[in-house]
Amino acid sequence: MRRRLFAAVLYVVLALCALAVLYPILYTFSTSLMTPGEASEYPPHVVPHHLYLRNFVDVFHLVPIGAFIGNTFLVSIVVMLGQLVTSSLAAYAFARMNFMGKNLLFALFMATMMIPWEVTMIPNYLTVRGWGWLDSYPGLIVPFLAASFGTFLLRQFFLQLSAELFEAARMDGCGHVRFFLSHVLPLSRPALGTLAVYSFLQMWNAYLWPLLITNTDKMRTVQIGIAMLQHQETTAWNLVFAGIALVLLPSLLMLALGLKQLVRGMTVGALKG
């Protein structure tokens, strides 16, 4: 009886926590379908009386949100692929190869995780400006092609792979490159999926760096577009929330597709140091 009571209380608490997490998302989509009058009423409505789809049309007229979404999608995909390549190669070297100063180099590599992005933002900006990459795709992409977190995550996962598998492959004449491509990568799909989702969402939600280096609507990203929309229509919250809903859809889709791999990769990769 006590176990059932405890389980019931636990389920209620978890349900309340889930509702607290989902409510902002549900409210965003609900408000995006309201008329200007409904969105500004107090107390606010949770469910719109009528579905007002014109909000999404008006958002595209106010700001070039379509171009912003395209820019962000391109940048996020390229950074995601770049981090998968660079992080997996570096992680394999730290996990399976022996070379002088490996532990020291890995410690220095991991130390960069403790440095806030804001500390390196100005040096990165000066570098990008010196190379003539302001207001360009290389300026948005190149500074994020390598990530210490991705290397750490994949290294922890690679250490879980059986050492006997590597030894058997070497006895069969399999070198590092072939072993990496034919054995390590196929077995590391959970960790690779985790890193893919993480890096994609990180770039999709980036605001400060694109704001700093982009000057024209041709190169701006969706987070800047939402800020522009909020600045132009400070009272039309239905339009602001419609823009947010458009930005949320790709993030939610990416998270839904990679949720299983995300959970598996984060749990398995944390088992061994």
112 and 196 housed in the same domain = yes
Question: What is the residue-wise DSSP string for 97-134?
Answer: ---TTHHHHHHHHHHGGGS-HHHHHHHHHHHHHHTT-T
As for how many domains the chain has, the answer is: 2
Task: Look up tokens 């994949």; give the residue.
Answer: 154
Task: Look up tokens 């990459």; give the residue.
Answer: 133
Chain length of the chain: 273
Is residue 263 within 8 A of residue 188, CB to CB? The reply is: no
Lowest-pLDDT choice from 69-78, 83-92, 197-206, 261-270? 261-270
- Backbone φ and ψ for 175, nearest 5 degrees, come out as -85, -175
Question: What is the residue-wise DSSP string for 125-152?
Answer: HHHHHHTT-TTSHHHHHGGGS--HHHHH
9 and 130 housed in the same domain = no
Q: Is the pLDDT of residue 272 over 70?
A: no
254 and 154 housed in the same domain = no
Q: Is the pLDDT of residue 41 over 80?
A: no
Among 109, 84, 79, 113, which residue's Cα sits nearest to residue 94? 109
Measured CA angle at 52 (ends 50, 53), to 5 deg: 140
* Structure-block tokens of residue 129: 């400006």
Residue-level pLDDT at 231:
63
pTM, rounded to two decimals: 0.84
Q: How many angstroms separate the CA atoms of 86 and 79, rounded?
A: 10
133 and 227 housed in the same domain = yes
Residue-level pLDDT at 233:
46
* Percent helix / strand / coil, the chain, rounded to 5: 75, 0, 25
Range of the domain at 253: 1-62+236-273
Lowest-pLDDT choice from 5-14, 49-58, 87-96, 158-167? 158-167
52 and 89 housed in the same domain = no
99 and 46 housed in the same domain = no
102 and 186 housed in the same domain = yes
69 and 190 housed in the same domain = yes
For 24-56, b where at least 16 C-beta lie within 10 A, e where not — what string? Answer: eeeebebbbbbbbebbeeeeeeeebeeebeebb
CATH number assigned to the domain comprising residue 220: 1.10.3720.10
pLDDT digits (tens, 9 = 90+) for 126-145: 999 999 999 999 999 999 99
Q: How many angstroms separate the CA atoms of 142 and 120, rounded?
A: 14
- Measuring CA to CA, how many Å separate 266 from each of 138, 250, 258? 30, 22, 12
Residue-level pLDDT at 110:
86
39 and 162 housed in the same domain = no
Q: Is the peptide bond before 43 cis (omega within 30 degrees of 0)?
A: yes
46 and 149 housed in the same domain = no
Is residue 137 within 8 A of residue 77, CB to CB? The reply is: no
